[in-house]
Amino acid sequence: MNYNFEIHSNGEISQLFLKNQCSNFLSVSEFIRNLPYRRNLNKDNLATVFIDECGTCSTKHAILKTLAEENNQTDFKLILGIFKMSGNNTPKIKSEAHNYLKFKNQILDFTKKNSSENDFIDDLMEEIEIEPHQINQFKIEFHKNYLSNWLAKNPQIQYSLEELWQVREQCIEALS
C-alpha cells in the first residue's frame, strides 16, 4: 500500500518539514524515525519535535498525523493502543500505551529506526483513534483508567494505581 504523498501545504508543520529538506511523506517518516527517542518539553506544541530534536511515540506520530491533515490526506489515523509489555516487545522494560499511525488499516510505527508493528501487535489489547491534541492529558487519563480497571480485575497484583504509574514512569525513563 503506497502511503507516500508530496508536501504542498503552507501549514506550520508542512513548512517545518520542508525547511528540513523533507518534501514527501517517505522522507518525513525517515526524518522522524531517526530522531532520538526522548520526551519533549512541550507536548502541546508539536513543533517541539524540531526544537528538542527528539520525540516519543506520541509526538512523533501526532506530528505525522498533523502533516497528513495539512496536506488533505484523510486515510491516516492516529491510534492510541494499549499493549501488554514483555521482555520481547520492549526488551528494556517489562501494560503500556503506544501511539502509531494507521493508513487504510496498515499499522505504521515510526517511533525508532527499527520500529515495527511486530513489536507489539501480538500483545495489543485495545486501540482507539485519537486526534493529535489528545496525546498529552487524554492519553494519560485513558491509560490510567485502563490500568485502574486492570488492577480491579487482577486483585492479586499488590500495587496501587499510583505505584503502578511510578513503575511505568521508570520504564519510560529506561527507554530514553
Q: How is residue 145 written as a grid cell?
A: 483508567
Closest CA to 146 of 84, 65, 59, 94: 84
Q: How is residue 7 written as a grid cell?
A: 508536501
Provide the whole-model pTM: 0.84
Whether the Cβ atoms of residue 56 and residue 173 lie closer than 8 Å to each other: no
Q: What letter would DSSP give residue 171?
A: H
Collapsing DSSP to helix, strand or coil, 153 comes out as helix
Neighbours of 103 (CB within 10 A): 16
Could you give the CA distance from residue 161 to residue 13 in angstroms, rounded to a whole number? 36
Q: What is the pLDDT along the chain (176 residues), one digit of tens a residue?
A: 689 999 999 999 999 999 999 999 999 999 999 999 999 999 899 999 999 999 999 999 999 999 999 999 999 999 999 887 655 555 444 357 788 899 998 999 998 888 888 788 888 888 999 999 999 999 999 999 999 998 999 899 888 999 988 888 887 777 66
Residues 6+ apart with CB under 8 A from 128: 79, 80, 142
